[in-house]
Each structure stands twice: as C-alpha cells, then as structure tokens.
Amino acid sequence: MMEIIYGRRPVLEALKAYRRKFQQLFFLQSIQSDKITAEIVSLAHKHQIEILYLPKDQLEIITGGGHHQGVAARVSLYSYVDIDGVLEEIDTDSSTLKPPVIVVLDHITDPQNFGAILRVAETGGVFCVVIPKDRSVEVTPAVVRSSSGASEYLRVTKVVNITRAINLLKKRGFWVVGLDSNDLSIPYERISFTYPVVLVIGQEGKGISRLVRENCDYLLHIPMYGSIDSMNVATALAVIVHEIRRQHRIAPGK
C-alpha cells in the first residue's frame, strides 16, 4: 500500500533517509525552485523516481488539502519496528548514543504534538519511540509534515500494552522515569541520567495514566516560574532529553 506525504522538508528528509519505497514525486507546475527542491530533484534522479508536474487543483486533491508547499510524493506506508528488534539493535549497534534513551507515549492523540515530539526525539538522539496500538495517533502524512521529516529517521514501535513494554525494558536494565507533576514527583535537575532511561510522556491535560505511573521508577517535573503551570509536551520532552545529553557530556571520561 502507498500513501501521499507532502511538504518540501518532509519529502526531502524521506528521500535522504530512504527507508520508504518511492513511486512518484509531484511538483506544482508553477513551483519556484530553491535549494531544497533542487536537492529533491537530484535525489529523485539518483533513485530513478518519476517526477510529475501538476496544476494546483490536482496537487490539492492528491494531498487532501494539506500544506504541501508545491511538493508531494507517493510512498510506501511507514514501517514500524518490533520492540524485541529494538532491544537487539541497542545491544549490537555501536553508533547508538549512550546511555540509550527510549520515549514511551501514553496515548498521545494530537498529530501536531506527535510530530513535534518526533522532531525533538530525533534531534536529541532518542533511540526509539513507543506508542500504544490503540487510542493513539500513528505516523500519518500529517505527522510526517509536522515533524519536518524527523519521523523518517526514527524507530517507532507500536505495542499492545504500554505497562508490559515498560516492564520488559526494566528487565533489560532501563530505569523508567515519568514526567508527571504531583506531590510525589521531584525536579528533573535532581535526577541522575547516567543510565539507560525510558521517558514516559502522557497526554496534555490528562498526564500519565494511573497504571503506567505506578510502574515508573521515578516521577519528575519541570519547575514552572511564570503564571502558566505547564508547557507543551514536546517542549517538556526537549528539556529532559537535552538534560540527559548534558549530563552525558560532562560525565567522567567524556
């Protein structure tokens, strides 16, 4: 099966990652060439991908009215990975940033938030993002667009049961840290992240579900200093992931 992804940067990153099969590329007939479109054309020629130039109304139909910026592609569906394969790859891939970080999303449903989370995860060297199979957004073309193509480099795995996945990761030496503001949580600066870690993020407004919260080793929060008492989940993830990398950079021997 195939789907349409769209947007200059998302299509370019999908071509650079080249984890999907490309059937066709579509350009708006009146598109103004720039550095990104030139690179897209170059990669299309390299991989012998057909390029079609379409009028605006046809491109609008193909992309379902999405913000395409004059560029779209017909590609194979996003390929999810198996969690057992993820764990095996962590053990064998010497290029993996240490300590490895896995992000578990507890029923995130907003495509814009999910795309932003994937962009943060990719730029922060997160090894894998875990999502539940039910009641959760998936890697759709809208998510690819909102992640600016970061989704094309990331491993994403879907699991039937988040709690079971968390406990599997615990058995493999990961510590599980939930981002959750309550009386039991501690400021994130007080946690040492010098070990393999799973970061659990919940829905905005609802947070982490009770059962998932009970299976976390630690609960942490990011102190707020203004009038608003929370931040966007992707922004919160960025704070924590880059604190992990900061601690890793200054660790002895680094």
Of all residues in the chain, the percent with pLDDT exceeding 70 is: 98
Q: Which residue has the tokens 């299976």?
A: 215
Count the neighbouring beta carbons within 10 Å of the beta carbon of residue 198: 23
**Residue-range domains of the chain with CATH:** 2-76 (3.30.1330.30), 83-250 (3.40.1280.10)
- Asked whether the predicted pLDDT for residue 107 surpasses 70, the reply is yes
CB atoms inside a 10 Å sphere around CB 19? 14
Q: Positive or negative CA dihedral for 58, 59, 61, 65?
A: negative
pLDDT at residue 253 in the model: 58
Task: Write out pLDDT tens, residues 50-74.
Answer: 999 999 999 999 999 988 999 999 9
**Predicted pLDDT at 254:** 55
**β 186-187/2-6 pair status:** unpaired
**Greater confidence, 5 or 181?**
5
pLDDT band, residue 240 (cuts 50/70/90):
very high
3-state helix, strand, coil in the chain (%, to 5): 40, 20, 40
Q: What is the mean pLDDT of residues 39-54?
A: 96
- Interval 22-31 mean pLDDT: 94
pTM over 0.95: no
pLDDT, mean over the chain: 92
How confident is the model at residue 204, as a pLDDT? 76
Distances from the Cα of 121 to the Cα of 18, 43, 105, angstroms: 19, 25, 12
3-state secondary structure of 159: strand
pLDDT digits (tens, 9 = 90+) for 178-223: 998 777 889 999 988 888 999 999 987 778 999 999 999 999 999 9
Residues 118-137: tens digit of each pLDDT = 999 999 999 999 999 988 89
CA distance 102 to 121: 9
State the pLDDT at residue 99: 85
Q: What is the pLDDT of residue 181?
A: 79
Taking only the tens place, the pLDDT of each residue in 157-175 is 999 999 999 999 999 999 9
